[in-house]
């Protein structure tokens, strides 16, 4: 897992934060209208992961952090936000997405169903870090 070296302190960037948050929300809205089946499950999972990643990056920018890798997001969740369980789940989704994107390994339908249920809830729960 990445260390804090891959999390860069920057000036808070509320404009970029808002933009990433909007992109994340837009993806979630579009995913609701896509028919979920064996043919779309991998694409839906990939986009759910991206929506979650964008949302967390949005929080990072709002707090003055930039991530140099997706692994650094796991570290941010664990060490800065103290969201240990979420850091483990995010890293699991990251690894599944990597297997899909880089190795052509399909995601099983149960895992995608889980992500469809959990990721929007996680994003909603992360709102507490915007206050």
The helix/strand count (H/E) of the chain reads as 5, 2
Q: Which domains does the chain have, with CATH numbers?
A: 4-130 (1.20.120)
What is the pTM for the complete model shown?
0.94
Rounded CA-CA distance 106/69 in Å is 23
pLDDT per residue rounded down to tens, the chain (131 residues): 446 789 999 999 999 999 999 999 999 999 999 999 999 999 999 999 999 999 999 999 999 999 999 999 999 999 999 999 999 999 999 999 999 999 999 999 999 999 999 999 999 999 999 87
């Amino acid at each position: 897992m990445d260390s804090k070296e891959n999390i860069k302190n920057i000036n808070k960037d509320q404009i970029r934060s808002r933009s990433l948050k909007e992109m994340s929300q837009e993806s979630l809205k579009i995913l609701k209208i896509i028919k979920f089946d064996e043919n779309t499950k991998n694409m839906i999972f990939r986009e759910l992961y991206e929506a979650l990643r964008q949302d967390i990056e949005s929080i990072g920018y709002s707090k003055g952090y930039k991530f140099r890798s997706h692994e650094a997001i796991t570290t941010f969740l664990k060490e800065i936000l103290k969201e240990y369980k979420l850091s483990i789940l995010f890293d699991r989704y990251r690894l599944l997405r990597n297997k899909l994107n880089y190795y052509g390994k399909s995601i099983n339908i149960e895992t995608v169903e889980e992500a469809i249920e959990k990721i929007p809830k996680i994003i909603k729960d992360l709102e507490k870090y915007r206050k």
